Amino acid sequence: MGVLVFSHEQDVDGLFSAAILKIAFPDCEVMLTNYGLEKMQAVASKIESFMQDNKAPGTIIIADIGVNEESYSPVLLALQRAKEKGWKNIWVDHHIWLQEPRDKLAQVCEIVISSEEAEEMKKCTAELCTEKFGLTADLRGSWQASRTEPTFQTRSDSRYLR
């Protein structure tokens, strides 16, 4: 069963989300991408080729990519085909979505989105990923277990001290 992850390439939330998903699914394939019709066509194409390469249904996860009305259609169609073939599709995001694209995508994938009602309830996509995939305790435990006192190398040459 293959896992394919798409995440936003241009900010820390997208990069952290991709890293968290790689921890959750060590054998997953990660593709970093950006917004725009051309990029979403490339995402759709990758979904199609990944399904061909992995005959058994797997999981497709899209993280930290808000829905742009002008460009989400190719991804919607690819996710529809994936669902028809038994794939599990999950879209994790913190951006505000318009109702129509949200309703259409909800028919083909599980949507995990930050609360839009209360400011204090909003979460970044990386936090949503840790919660969705049950990593919160594991990540904290790993960090605590691997934490050691930092060591520093010093140089006597004063030009390095500026």
Crossing angle of helices 73-84 and 37-53, rounded to 10°: 20
Per-residue pLDDT reduced to its tens digit, 74-115: 999 999 999 999 999 999 999 988 899 999 999 999 999 987
Average pLDDT, the chain: 85
Confidence category of residue 135, pLDDT binned at 50, 70, 90: confident
Per-residue pLDDT reduced to its tens digit, 27-57: 999 999 999 999 999 999 999 999 999 989 9
This prediction's pTM: 0.82
DSSP letter string, 101-120: HHHHHHTTSEEEE--SS-GG
Domains of the chain: 3-161 (3.40.50.2300)
